[in-house]
Amino acid sequence: AQSVAQPEDQVNVAEGNPLTVKCTYSVSGNPYLFWYVQYPNRGLQFLLKYITGDNLVKGSYGFEAEFNKSQTSFHLKKPSALVSDSALYFCAVRDPNQGGKLIFGQGTELSVKP
Amino acid sequence: SAVISQKPSRDICQRGTSLTIQCQVDSQVTMMFWYRQQPGQSLTLIATANQGSEATYESGFVIDKFPISRPNLTFSTLTVSNMSPEDSSIYLCSVVTPGNTIYFGEGSWLTVV
């Protein structure tokens, strides 16, 4: 069965420091991987995706993610965190053999302090 | 990209009543989905809205409780029937674009009292 794990419920980072939000997945075949951000009282905003190609994917707001097939991971990164990055982040996987539905991780709350 | 509009954005509903949520997309899309996000939780897929045929429901969700319509490639509705406080959630519409990017609407925030 497909699954996504975000091992950290919360990540705390000082402004200006690099940040990493971890995600590991389990899916048969070649997964499509996504990161979304949810600000308070808002819907989900698409950040980036990996389908194929370069393992390092660049997305919105300076975020990037690295696909590692051997470790079945897709960690979200940003070189220099901003206070405005504070939000809830979701990793999700899509098995292209099972339509377009997404399986989500439980979410990671990112808190960036000045 | 795809711009997805959901209505209503928020509502407070009486238990036992039903509410229909609308999802409008600015372009034709083949795949459209409805998700639920319960308070403090992640997202769970309710169903795939199929154009011209009955929706495909995930385990734990049934058509009598969550009837879905998909009359064309840009519009869908989700009805939450006979609501109870346990139905208080965010309901989100999602679409897949031809580039395999999956976008979400802003959600419909329902509180059942």
Interface of A with B in 85-114 (CB under 8 A): 90, 92, 94, 96, 99-102, 104-107
Q: Which two tokens stand for residue A69?
A: 């097939």
Predicted pLDDT of residue A27: 85
Question: A–B: how many Cβ contacts below 8 A?
Answer: 55
Supply the pLDDT for residue A98. 75
Indicate the average pLDDT of chain B: 95
Query: Residue A96: its pLDDT value, please?
Result: 75
Higher pLDDT, B20 or B1: B20
Please state the rounded mean pLDDT for residues A97-104: 85
Alpha-carbon Rg for chain B in angstroms: 13
Shortest CA gap B15–chain A (Å): 23
Cα dihedral across residues A75, A80, A83, A84: positive or negative: negative
Q: What is the mean pLDDT of residues A67-90?
A: 96
* φ and ψ of B31, to 5 deg: -105, 130
pLDDT at B51 over 80: yes
Shortest Cα–Cα distance, B71 to chain A (Å): 19
pLDDT of residue A95: 79
pLDDT of residue B37: 97
Does the CB of B105 have a partner CB in chain A at under 8 Å?
yes
B92 closest CA partner among A87, A45, A43, A35: A43
Per the structure block, which two tokens stand in for B63?
Answer: 């058509």
pLDDT digits over B66-75, tens only?
999 999 999 9
pLDDT in tens, B61-109: 999 999 999 999 999 999 999 999 999 999 999 999 988 899 999 999 9
Contacts of A92 in chain B (CB under 8 A): 43, 102
Interface touch B45/A102, C-beta < 8 Å: yes
Q: Which residues of B touch A100 (CB under 8 A)?
A: 31, 33, 48, 96, 102
Count Cβ atoms below 10 Å from residue B36 Cβ, excluding itself: 21
Residue A34 predicted with pLDDT over 80: yes
Asked if the C-beta of B92 comes within 8 angstroms of chain A's C-beta atoms, the answer is yes
Q: What's residue B79's pLDDT?
A: 98
